[in-house]
Every structure is written in C-alpha cells, then in structure tokens.
A and B are shown apart, each in its own frame.
Chain A
C-alpha cells in the first residue's frame, strides 16, 4: 500500500482553444443551423432597425429645420429602450433553447477536454457574430426606410452623423446580443462531461 501514499501527481497545465479556432467553430455552428440562427438574428435586426430609424428620423427632422418636441423624443426613447429589452429577452430565449438542444455536443466537447471557458467562448462568439450581422442589416434597413421617405432633404442631411449612428447601432446590437448570451453560455458551461453519455433526447 506504500506506493499509494506518494500523493497525486499533478498533470502539467496546458490546454487551450485558440481564438481563431473558436471563431471557426462558432461560424460553423451558425451556418449549419442557418434557419434558427436567422430567427435569432432577426430579433437583433428588428430592434436595431427601429433604433436606427429613430436616429435617422431625428436627423431628417434636423435637416428639415423642424422643431423637435421634447415629449415626442421622450416617447421615442422609451419605445427604443423597450424594443431593445424585448430583443434582449428574445435572444436569451433563443440561445437557451439552442443550449438545451446541444447538451450532447457540449458534453462530448467536455469529454474531449474542453474547459468551461471554451464553451462560454464558443457561445459568446456565436452570439456576437449573429448580433453583428443582425444589426448590420437592421441598421441598413432602418436607415434606408427613413431616408427613402425623405429624399427631398438628402442635400441637407448630415451624412457623417448618419454614419456615426450606423456605427453606434452596430456596437449596441452586437453588445446586446453578447449580453443576452451570457446567461445561456454560463448554463452551457455548467453542463457536465457525463451529459455526453445520456441517450434520451
């Protein structure tokens, strides 16, 4: 029994998932489930389209030298905040579904040596990509719809500001999407390697 008391030999600490590989896997996860991914992304798309349309609408008002009513602006802010919250909840829900759907895949990755943070990384990157593309298209749509309805004032519009709002929308959309994925990603990371063995669906 003497050999058993020699104490545990600690394995060397080296295990990793490079960011480029994580991106590759996350992108694959999106493309293979494109239908679902598009539904998830459409939440961001709609929310950001609305935000961008409000921004653009404001600029059009400015270009028209119209008086911007404070009450109207407050209402708009309220609507934008609400719509973004709805977006947030929608993405969280979609990601949670996607996590439960992939329990076996996550368990398998853990069996192959994935750490909790690999799983978190994969889900956050996936959500960031979805958020980025969703808000890109959403911002384009929101801006276009408003601008096409006001072609007469194009000469007076501050395009630099529109571009700036466009950037802001993408940043907000992407971060919102990542934020919404935090809870589902943590839940995914908590799944155990042993879940890979489960046979029931």
Chain B
C-alpha cells in the first residue's frame, strides 16, 4: 500500500518539471557526494559551515553477510539533516530505509563512509561514548512504545535522567513537566499496562525528551495506533519540534506524516531515490486528491 503510494509520488514527480529537476539533483548528490537537498542547492558553501547540520551522512555503504552472501543494504547514501528539521524517511521494506534510519540514530555503524551526529563521527566512538550519545543526544521512539513494563509513566521518564546523573529533585520536576507537555500528567503513576497505546506513546515521547536531545528518532511511531490517535501523536511530535527546536527524524509508512515533515526522503534499493520539500509534496498530494 505504502509502496504503491511512494511509486505514484515518484511518477508524479517525473511529470512535474520542477520536481523532476529536483530528482535529477538528488541523483547528482548520490553520485558526487555533494551536499543536501534540492531546496538549498544555491547556498552550498554556507551550508557546510558546520553546526547547522545535526546529522551528516557521507557516502555510506552498509553490507550485511547473510549466509555467506553479501547483501548491500545501503549502496552509497548522502544525506544532511538540519538542526530543527522534521524529516521523514520513506521506502518499502527491504529498501535500506531501516538501515539508514539505524545509522542516523547511532544504532549501527557503516561498512564504508561516515556518519556524523552532532559533528561526531560515530564510527570513532567506543561503547561508552555511544551509550553517552544515546543517553544525551538522541531520544528514541518506537513502533511498539517499548516502555519498561515494571515502571510507572513517571519512572519511565526519569530513567534516562538517572543514567545521565540528574538528582532526584530535578528528575521529578522535569518528569512532571514533560508529562504535562505531552498531556498525560494525570496518569503519571500508572504502569504502561494500564495505559492505552496512544497514552503509552505519549509517555515514550516524553521519555525521549528527558535529557534534552538534539535528535528524536521515531521508528514508525504511528504504526501500532489507530488513525485518530496516530494523528494526535504526529501533531504532538510536530508541536514539540516547533517549540523546542528538536530535530525529528521518522521512518514511516504513514501518509499523515508527510503533511508535517519539512522534507521527505525516499529510499529505494539502498540509495536515496529522491528528497522533496513538503511544499512540493503538498502540491502533488493535493492534485492527486483534488483538494
């Protein structure tokens, strides 16, 4: 279903002269290892200034060995993600989408090429530094929520703060504030099993923000939720993205996610197929649905 949708977008992009130009430049990016999305191609030099990018992926290849046979999950990907951006990574299963997503989140290391997260080359980090980065720099949100079942909502949120060495008062204070921010303060002493899926995901979002990360990494955050709840969660993510300026990176099949994303990256066959700004996609989706 999502696969089909992606293809139809691709076809439309091909028809639209403006979008096809972007497609061409996206291909050029892959080929040359030059910078980022179509939209910012006129100020390439400025974009390299550094701290503006929270994630930089440079010619990343990732090869898995499955039963002695090499499988090329990523075949050379370049991607730059700006600080404060809301990015969706889309692609059919087997496209390398998950591999790229894990790479960007510091969960996997490239076979070849480099991934910089907040100016740090993740391949250089030892286990301790990786853990530190996951604790402080990246907040994870999962399709299956992944709250710790033995802990209350509040305790789930304070756990990363405990790891980060915050004192008790700070933990409680911040934990409450975060629960309020995601609109679930009244359930703070409930265990995950006593919460609905949407409520659990809200707790998970609050937890991801516990140590003021630079990036929130959301893996199919609406995959296990119904349409209406999924919409609420997407709106919450967008609001937090706007308010706190945290970079949100999602891997998704959910079309609702496109409307809030600043840019959408399509992955196919281990490469970046195309990168589009929301405005371009809006036009396409709009013309498709006749809105």
Find out whether the CB atom of A28 lies under 8 angstroms from the CB atom of B150: yes
Neighbour of A115 across the interface among B107, B124, B128, B150, CB < 8 A: B128
Task: Give A15 to B143 CA distance when docked, in angstroms.
Answer: 27
Find out whether the CB atom of B149 lies under 8 angstroms from the CB atom of A105: yes
Neighbour of B107 across the interface among A9, A104, A193, CB < 8 A: A193
CB-defined interface of B142-184 with A at 8 Å, one 1/0 digit per residue?
Answer: 1110111111000000011011110000000000000000000
Q: Which A residues lie within 8 Å of B68 (CB)? A: none
Shortest distance in angstroms between B170's beta carbon and chain A's nearest beta carbon? Answer: 14
Find out whether the CB atom of B120 lies under 8 angstroms from the CB atom of A196: no
Q: Which B residues lie within 8 Å of A114 (CB)? A: 131, 163
SS of B interface (majority):
mixed
Shortest distance in angstroms between B19's beta carbon and chain A's nearest beta carbon? Answer: 29
Shortest distance in angstroms between B175's beta carbon and chain A's nearest beta carbon? Answer: 14
Tell whether B136 is near chain A: CB-to-CB under 8 Å: yes
A193's nearest neighbour on chain B, judged by CB, is: B107
CB-defined interface of B100-113 with A at 8 Å, one 1/0 digit per residue?
Answer: 00100001100000
Shortest distance in angstroms between B171's beta carbon and chain A's nearest beta carbon? Answer: 10
Q: Which A residues lie within 8 Å of B148 (CB)? A: 105, 108-109
Shortest distance in angstroms between A64's beta carbon and chain B's nearest beta carbon? Answer: 50
Find out whether the CB atom of A112 lies under 8 angstroms from the CB atom of B149: no
Tell whether B266 is near chain A: CB-to-CB under 8 Å: no
Query: Contacts A11-B132, A113-B160; is A196 near B149 (CB within 8 Å)?
Result: no
Residue of A10, A15, A107 with most chain B CB atoms under a 10 A cut-off: A15
Query: Contacts A105-B149, A197-B102, A197-B107; is A8 near B124 (CB within 8 Å)?
Result: yes
Find out whether the CB atom of B136 lies under 8 angstroms from the CB atom of A113: yes
A1's nearest neighbour on chain B, judged by CB, is: B48
Shortest distance in angstroms between B92's beta carbon and chain A's nearest beta carbon? Answer: 16
Find out whether the CB atom of A112 lies under 8 angstroms from the CB atom of B102: no
Stretch in A17-25, A48-56, A179-187 touching the partner: A17-25
Q: Which A residues lie within 8 Å of B280 (CB)? A: none
A116's nearest neighbour on chain B, judged by CB, is: B127
Give the interface of A toward B (CB within 8 A). Answer: 1, 3-4, 6, 8-18, 21, 25, 28-29, 31-32, 104-105, 107-116, 118, 192-194, 196-197, 199
* In the A-B complex, the 7 residue pairs with the closest CB atoms: A113-B135, A28-B150, A108-B146, A111-B140, A194-B107, A113-B163, A112-B160
Jot down 14 A-B pairs with beta carbons below 8 A, ordered by A.
Answer: A3-B50, A8-B124, A10-B129, A15-B135, A15-B164, A17-B163, A25-B151, A28-B150, A108-B146, A111-B107, A111-B134, A112-B135, A196-B142, A196-B146
